[in-house]
Amino acid sequence: MKKRDRANGGRTAGAEYYIPAASLKGVLRHEVRRLLGRMAHAAPAMAADQLPGKIEKHLADLFGSTDSTGKLTVHDIVVTGTPVTVARDSSQTDQPVYTKIDRLTGGSYVSALKRQQEIQGTAVISLELAVKPAADGYFHYIFPLVYVLRRLGAELVPLGGRTVAGLGQFKAPTVNIDCGGETWNIETGPDLSAGNRRQLEVWWEAFAGWCRQ
C-alpha cells in the first residue's frame, strides 16, 4: 500500500492511501495464470510443450502484453481509512519493523530495515472489460475474473501489505457485475443462490470452451 497527495480541483487536499493498479493487475494475472494452467493440464490432447504458449496467449488477450493491449482495465484501489494501532507485547514498537532480504545471497542487511504503518479502511476493487456484449461473446472473460475476485473477497488471496507477495487482507460479501444492461451480485462465500450458481455455470462453460481453443 502506498500514500499520495489527494488532488482536488488542481490543489492538494490531504493524503490518501492506495494500492496501485499495477499491483492488483499482477495479483489477478497470477491467479488467472494458475487457473489456466490447471485447465490446460486437464486437456489430454494438449502437448506439454504447447501449454506455456497457449496460456500466455490467453493472458495477453485479457491482460495485454508488450505487443498488445488487453481487454481489461484495472484501477487503483483507494483506501478510505486511517493508521491503526495494533496490540503488541512490550518488546515491540507501535510500528513493526521488517528486514529486506537480499535476493542474491538470501541474507539481510541492517541498513534496509523498514518501519511500516498498518492501515485499515474501506475500498472498492474496480475493473473494466472492453468487450462487445453481443451474442454473449464476452462470457469466457467473466468467469476467471469472478473466480479471482471471489477468492479475494473471501480472504483466500492476500492483497497489499508489506511484501511483494502481499500480506494485506481484503474482505467483500459480493462481486458486483454490470454488463450489457444486466447486473449480477455474486456471493463470495460458499453459499450461492440458485440463480447465481446457474450463471456461474454458464460463464464456466464459456471459459472452458475458450481454454480449449
pLDDT in tens, 150-175: 999 998 988 876 544 446 788 999 99
Is 40:211 a contact under the CB 8 Å cutoff? yes
Q: CA 56 to CA 62: how far, in whole Å?
A: 10
The C-alpha R_g of the chain, in whole angstroms, comes to 20
Residue 160: its pLDDT value, please? 73
Q: What pLDDT was estimated at residue 7?
A: 60
Predicted local confidence at residue 164, as pLDDT: 43
Most confident listed range (5-9, 64-68, 88-92): 64-68
**Mean of all residue pLDDT scores within the chain:** 79
DSSP, res 64: B
Rounded to two decimals, the pTM is: 0.78
Can you give the pLDDT at residue 24? 92
Higher-confidence residue of 63 and 86: namely 63
